[in-house]
Amino acid sequence: MKITPLLTALGVALLAATGFAAKSEPARVPAPEGVLPLVVVDSLSMPGNAYTDFDRLDVAFQKVAKQRKWPLKVVAERLAGGVPEYLTELQVSLKQVREETPGELVFRAWTVLYVDGKKTDFQVITFRHSYRAAENMEDTLDKVFAGGANAIADQVEPLLFPNLTSEKTRK
């Protein structure tokens, strides 16, 4: 008896038993009635800053949902530890806002949308904002995140609310 096939078989059995083998997609559950869960994985903010990128994106999405008259309330969860995965859910992984060219800030977020369990990966959605030299940085960052939230909403709205999109095109 050769030892190599035996070790290979034992290795596969060990991987399967410990969960390192290919995992199936976790079971998704329905979201609470009238709620769109927004799961945000944010970049590390500046140390000591109480108002984080997560907070900015949360506020920006609340405004976007209100302006666009979305029929669902957006509820943001940071990192979503211990939160079930929902059938309909928007996942946003924030990247750090960067100044690539002087006077221009760039918002980037890897965005995935689940609608009734069907996954749509938008990959990285980008928004660029040119700011004035004397503009307050807090106001500038609010504008950057508002623009980023609108850029994400432009992509996800047709899948989330096809009726709203068709009403806008008729007007």
Rounded distance between C-alpha atoms, residue 12 and residue 44, angstroms:
38
Q: Does residue 63 lie within any of the structural domains?
A: yes
Rounded distance between C-alpha atoms, residue 130 and residue 148, angstroms:
13
Please state the pTM of the whole predicted model: 0.78
Q: Does residue 104 lie within any of the structural domains?
A: yes
Q: Does residue 6 lie within any of the structural domains?
A: no
Report how many domains make up the chain: 1
Domain that holds residue 153: 30-170
pLDDT on residue 93: 93
CATH assignment of the domain containing 125: 3.30.160
- For 158, the enclosing helix (H) or strand (E) is helix 137-160
- Confidence band of 46 (pLDDT split at 50, 70, 90): low
- Left (φ > 0), alpha (ψ -120 to 50) or beta: where does 79 sit? left
pLDDT on residue 171: 56
Q: Does residue 19 lie within any of the structural domains?
A: no
Q: Does residue 20 lie within any of the structural domains?
A: no
- Least confident segment among 7-16, 66-75, 115-124, 136-145: 7-16
Q: Does residue 12 lie within any of the structural domains?
A: no
pLDDT in tens, 107-126: 999 999 999 999 999 999 99
Rounded distance between C-alpha atoms, residue 147 and residue 129, angstroms:
8
Q: Does residue 2 lie within any of the structural domains?
A: no
